[in-house]
Structure 1
């Protein structure tokens, strides 16, 4: 069986980032044997066959083709995708399965951990994690009231973004976010400080009466805001305060309020309703804060805009770590879990990213818009295996 390894080491990037932060990674008290820790994460892809993949429904093949056509608006002029994108546009939905089988070869993804010095393989894993997300609907007021006091904020002018890639190519894709204090650039405010700032009220797109709903809107990255007058405002991710995302569910487990198998969006919301005086304490466990911008939508049936700059397709778009899977790449994913039961195999397209989506086998599955999609997304925490779909004759290096 033909095997091909393509590598993306984070060691140089992490080292540079630590130096920029003024941190030292040197500890002379550590024993020599700890120097070669398994810190480098890489991907191995192995050419495979459709016979090893579970059966996929015609409906799912068609959704995958629809999503791929959307991505072709962006990647269709690239040499590797040009021919298959032209065929995707001309292929009727009824022939979606034949299109994928005839035009693409599946390559199984394996995550490997290597020692940063010797290259020793510490672990190999063909299984990762897939969570779910959706486009929520929030009832809002256009004006701040005694009831509607939680703002959905656009990006404030004092948030400064520094892109160092032009000076430090190894930091490509990494940005510093902060604000000025005199002539000094300092970290931007964390969540707890942002929600206390009244000077940011002028950046509010709308006002909610539910801090937990706004919190989950930030996690989803996009949503619809409905005013009392019946106006619908579409919003999408614009920027972030630069602090790392931390799951609030871990705090609930550590405190004994929920068991790990009980973690879901619905159970977190239920705990918040039952403990209203501790909601801020819960939400402040995550220092990250997301800012939005209004989206002009000409077709209301289209999904929210993902990181590829294109509309997402329900049950066919996924968020990926773009360090490992480039935007627009089609894949097949097999997701499964026991509690609650969930099992599916679907063709999907990499069309989005997310703060918690890190690694070659880490995905977020887009369920669509509304309450039903929210229920499905909130309960998903699946084991996942995945195959990258490459045009016949192509190899993984071709899509980098």
Structure 2
């Protein structure tokens, strides 16, 4: 470690110690909708910096902590020294994602987002971390019952070949929302949409593109968006984005869970590679398996002007690979920076980094629950398809007195 990094690390340690010695203060006025109900005193244990997502908290160093109650979580005031791995992340990488979130600031963030927009980007990771420590306060996210460990899964943006018209080998349509989607609730099931001749004829006008594999369509629908490589009118390949535009309001049923319940896969084996392998070995059962999930998602086509940006999340801003997560907005408001403590699914190494809460999903519910956006491409698919790790989260919220 060079001299500058040693100095920065020392400064981080000093600020962390000062944060631990300060008197707990109430949060700044958060406006009308941050769902903060009250602040109360709580006795909460400190957690060692080198603890993992599955380790038990220390019973030493208890003191009164401020507690912020939200609809599906409570936030317990923490010290910076309690965040596992704090100071070792590439903190400057958060800045573009945080700036994008500040285009639609969370309640209580208007003043701080104005500072973010005025301030120059940090020159290095230490400067970025110090800025966060000076302006934000960490809170451990847990359930109302005090459970601080949850679950993180992963998602990605599929990259698929497609055609504009049905051709040999490309017969699976990607559909735009039908005109009567909001008039019939719930809408037709996946099986009805794909098998009823009259319904299929009516939906033909809504075909955007055609894929090769029915499982690719299901993956695209579960991920909520994807990139399709389609030839233009001159025969040149181009990438377009298929963005989420609605669904049939039917319940979602995991086909991986179905295969486990049928005894086709063992618990813990229901990754996308395993499911693809099973379907290749059992093609005659593919249609019936896919139809066990009645949920059907419709899309809208969007251009892809900047291939380095992800799709728009529920916050309405583009997602950043490795820096955006989907959360339960009743637990963590969109636009909140969080410190994530988990492990990488392929290597098992610690995954401790700054993230922005910028998206949600129908399966992302609960206090300590997140979906990690890995980006696009084969590595992102491999990571996301196997991610199901223990998780702890700390929300970083504007400090009092700004």
| TM-score, normalised via structure 2 length | 0.77
Aligned counterpart, 2:366: 359
Is 1:209 the counterpart of 2:212 in the alignment?
yes
1:248–1:333 CA distance, 2 compared to 1 (3 A): same
Once the two structures are TM-superposed, the CA of residue 305 in structure 1 deviates from its matched residue by: 1.3
1:341–1:394 CA distance, 2 compared to 1 (3 A): farther
> Per the alignment, in what secondary structure is the counterpart of residue 173 of structure 2?
strand
User: Structure 2: which 5+ residue stretches go unaligned?
Assistant: 1-63
Once the two structures are TM-superposed, the CA of residue 323 in structure 1 deviates from its matched residue by: 2.0
1:310-321 pair list within 5 angstroms: 310-321=317-328
| TM-score, normalised via structure 1 length | 0.77
Q: Out of 372, 379, 393, which is 1:386 matched to?
A: 393
C-alpha separation in 1, matches of 2:90 and 2:267: 31
Is 1:369 the counterpart of 2:376 in the alignment?
yes
User: Structure 1: which 5+ residue stretches go unaligned?
Assistant: 9-41, 113-122, 161-177, 180-185, 396-400
Aligned counterpart, 1:75: 105
Aligned counterpart, 1:270: 277
C-alpha separation in 2, matches of 1:91 and 1:147: 49
Give the CA RMSD over aligned residues: 2.1
Q: Out of 151, 154, 168, which is 1:132 matched to?
A: 154
C-alpha separation in 1, matches of 2:295 and 2:220: 13
Aligned counterpart, 1:46: 76
Q: Deviations over 1:120-153 (max 9, x none)?
A: xxx4311111100111111111101242111111
1:190–1:60 CA distance, 2 compared to 1 (3 A): farther
Find runs of 4+ consecutive structure 1 residues off by over 6 angstroms.
337-340
For the Cα contact (< 8 Å) 1:340–1:379, is it kept in 2? no
For the Cα contact (< 8 Å) 1:63–1:313, is it kept in 2? no
How many residues matched?
328
Q: Deviations over 1:23-60 (max 9, x none)?
A: xxxxxxxxxxxxxxxxxxx3121000111112256663
Q: Deviations over 1:292-342 (max 9, x none)?
A: 111233323221111111110010000111122211111111113788625
Aligned counterpart, 1:191: 190
For the Cα contact (< 8 Å) 2:175–2:299, is it kept in 1? yes
Aligned counterpart, 1:55: 85
Q: Out of 163, 172, 176, which is 1:150 matched to?
A: 172
Q: Out of 246, 252, 264, which is 1:239 matched to?
A: 246
Aligned counterpart, 1:108: 140
1:7-46 pair list within 5 angstroms: 7-8=70-71, 42-46=72-76
C-alpha separation in 2, matches of 1:53 and 1:103: 16
Higher strand share: 1
1:357–1:314 CA distance, 2 compared to 1 (3 A): same
